[in-house]
């Protein structure tokens, strides 16, 4: 999995910081998660082709998480897109976007498909042979979902030395990777486990922004490889976090600890703080493996 953070600050775009937007490359999918203002500029800066994005997941309809979406959708039209674009987000997103397109008489010339969400329970919203995506209901000031992206188990890996030893024709390689045993010309059977290695363990990424600290969240993101959890505030402003339905770095770390995740990535920082290192220091007192998202930063997991 490869994560590019296009923006990870709260509230408003500023000279040096962007609101939330990130690109997750997972099992050949290029997925846009949230689309704050500045998303298009950052995509270009990172040389991520717009046309590779077929699925966009929007957490909620606060402006700092989706005001970049109408522009992105319009640009796709100008770039001559012809394939489907799927947008997942809270009920109302379709009306908001289509009104803007209608007023500007700028309907897309490609299929734009909205998948509006209303459930407060976890639901599977996308699945193919490569990945699955489920919602993670969050508790924020408006209806909000995080998203859990999971790789599917891949094919078995060919043990080249073993297949060559048995003189197996390349025509059978695909069957072998699919787990089949092989019958040799002399009638003996070679079990698949002699010809292959286990595929890599599928990875998972949970995106959780924005949300108040919620103890029950740990169950929903249990043992994921990477948890991105918002940390708008530090513990010294815990009262503001509670009031605005956001979380602190310490609370994010508590969720990571309770869920026994491998890595915690923090983001959605309030710009009131001089240094984001303070978030890492605070979270590290609760959970050991903390990384800081920052605009332009990339991660390989």
DSSP H or E segment with residue 221: none
Minimum CB distance to Zn ion, residue 172 (Å): 54
Secondary element (H or E) of residue 10? none
264's CB contacts (< 8 A; 6+ apart) are: 226, 227, 229, 252, 253, 256, 283, 287, 289, 290, 291
Of 68, 75, 77, nearest to 37 by C-alpha is 68
Q: Count the site residues for Zn ion by CB under 5 A.
A: 2
Using the minimum distance from each CB to Zn ion, give the nearer residue, 176 or 208.
208
Supply the minimum distance, in Å, between the C-beta of residue 5 and Zn ion.
Answer: 17
Judged by DSSP in three states, 264 sits in: strand
Query: CB–CB of 57/29 below 8 Å?
Result: no
Q: How far is the CB of 49 from Zn ion (least distance, A)?
A: 29
Farthest CA pair distance, the chain:
75
Q: Which of residues 199-218 bind Zn ion (CB under 5 A)?
A: 210
Q: How far is CA 220 from CA 31, 145, 214, in A?
A: 21, 12, 11
Q: Which CB atom, from 55 or from 62, has the smaller least distance to Zn ion?
A: 62
Interacting span for Zn ion (CB under 5 A) from 24-32, 35-43, 56-64, 89-97: 56-64
Which of 3, 5, 9, 62 is close enough to bind Zn ion by CB under 5 A? 62
Smallest gap from residue 212 Cβ to Zn ion (A): 11
Q: How far apart are CA 120 and CA 283, in angstroms?
A: 28
Choices 19-27, 54-62, 159-167, 235-243; region in contact with Zn ion by CB under 5 A: 54-62
- Report, in Å, the least distance between residue 147 CB and Zn ion: 15
Q: Which residue is nearest to Zn ion (CB)?
A: 62
Question: Residue 283 in contact with residue 267, Cβ under 8 Å?
Answer: no
Q: Is 150 an interacting residue with respect to Zn ion (CB under 5 A)?
A: no
Of 34 and 210, CB closest to Zn ion? 210
Residues annotated as part of the active site: 64
Residues lying near Zn ion in the complex (CB under 5 A): 62, 210
């Amino acid at each position: 999995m490869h994560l590019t953070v296009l923006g990870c600050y709260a509230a408003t775009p500023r000279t040096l910081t962007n609101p939330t937007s990130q690109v997750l490359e997972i099992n050949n999918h290029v997925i846009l998660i949230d689309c704050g203002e500045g998303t298009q500029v950052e995509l270009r800066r990172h040389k991520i082709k717009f046309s590779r994005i077929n699925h966009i997941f929007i957490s909620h309809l606060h402006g700092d998480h989706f005001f970049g979406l109408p522009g992105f959708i319009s640009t796709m039209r100008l770039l001559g897109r012809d394939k489907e674009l799927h947008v997942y987000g809270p009920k109302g997103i379709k009306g908001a976007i289509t009104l803007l397109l209608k007023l500007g008489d700028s309907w897309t010339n490609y299929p734009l498909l909205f998948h509006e969400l209303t459930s407060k329970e976890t639901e599977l919203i996308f699945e193919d042979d490569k990945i699955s995506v489920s919602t993670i209901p969050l508790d924020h000031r408006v209806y909000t979902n995080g998203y859990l992206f999971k790789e599917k188990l891949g094919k078995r890996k060919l043990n080249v030395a073993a297949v060559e030893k048995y003189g197996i024709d390349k025509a059978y390689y695909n069957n072998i990777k699919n787990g089949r045993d092989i019958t040799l010309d002399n009638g003996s059977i070679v079990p698949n486990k002699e010809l292959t290695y286990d595929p890599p363990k599928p990875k998972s990424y949970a995106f959780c922004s924005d949300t108040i600290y919620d103890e029950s969240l740990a169950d929903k993101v249990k043992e994921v490889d990477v948890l991105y959890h918002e940390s708008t505030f530090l513990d010294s402003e815990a009262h503001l976090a509670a009031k605005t339905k956001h979380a602190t770095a310490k609370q994010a770390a508590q969720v990571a600890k309770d869920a026994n995740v491998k890595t915690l990535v923090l983001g959605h920082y309030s710009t009131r703080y001089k240094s984001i290192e303070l978030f890492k220091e605070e979270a590290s007192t609760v959970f050991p493996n903390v990384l800081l998202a920052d605009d332009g930063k990339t991660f390989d997991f």
